[in-house]
Amino acid sequence: MPDITFTNAPAHVAIIMDGNGRWANARGLPRTMGHRKGVEAVRGAVKTAAELGIRYLTLFAFSSENWSRPEDEVSDLMGLLKSFVRRDLADLHRENVRIRVIGDRTNLSGDILPLLLEAEETTIANTGITLVIAFNYGARDELARAMRRLAEEVADGRLTPSDITAERIAETIDTAGIPDPDLILRTSGEERLSNFLLWQGAYSELLFIPELWPDFTRETFIAAIEKYSGRERRFGGLPQPTLAVGS
């Protein structure tokens, strides 16, 4: 497979994987079949991201609001997560993928949390792409949990209010140690962040693509990175002038 290089490739891509249910409905299939097809797209996305030299890939796997879905659908999603970890962990570990899990870990069912911890601990020393799985995650909840921890430190006298800076908050939220995403993608044509990486995405490029998540292919991913590469990121400032050759 030929190498693909970009002059302005993102180091961190985050994806809101949307459209599994609609993919299934359009084919007269149960929603659960869309989720199963979506897992195949996850495998392909991780492989493609590694091939493209992306260092971090964050996937919005299950939001803190998804618990309100029908019980049988939630049960199937939990089953898919368990199956993914049990089936794919060895392969990801062998391919030098490191796994990080973000989201609220309290009150998770007894068999889910050990699996997530196993995935993190098994791959902790790996040096390839970092796959960040956002599970039971909501950005507002993440910030609220971080603010409570900082408030507790202030109450205990370990921190003063003036110590609470943007940098300190970044060190307290779930993604501590992970660079902010350069690019946030959402599939299915919906154009909103849906409570995903609100702090981290302050300067991210946003790209909304029409494909439903199960239809997300290597070619779709490459096309998205090509669009990103053509954008100019200024972070609130002015672009730096490019000097002419020989000047």
Cα separation, 151 vs 169, whole angstroms: 11
The answer to whether 40 and 217 have CB atoms below 8 angstroms apart is: no
Phi/psi at 4 (5° precision): -120, 125
Is 156 in the active site? no
Kind plus residue range of the DSSP H or E element containing 21? helix 20-26
User: Among the options 8, 20, 25, 66, which is catalytic?
Assistant: 66
Partners of residue 101 on adjacent β-strands: 133
Cα separation, 118 vs 114, whole angstroms: 6
Q: Phi-psi category of 234—alpha, beta or left, where left has phi over 0 and alpha has psi -120 to 50?
A: alpha
Is 163 in the active site? no
3-state SS, residue 186: strand
186 to 14, 110, 222, 237: CA distances (angstroms): 9, 31, 14, 26
User: Among the options 18, 88, 180, 182, which is catalytic?
Assistant: 18
Q: Please list the active-site residues.
A: 18, 66
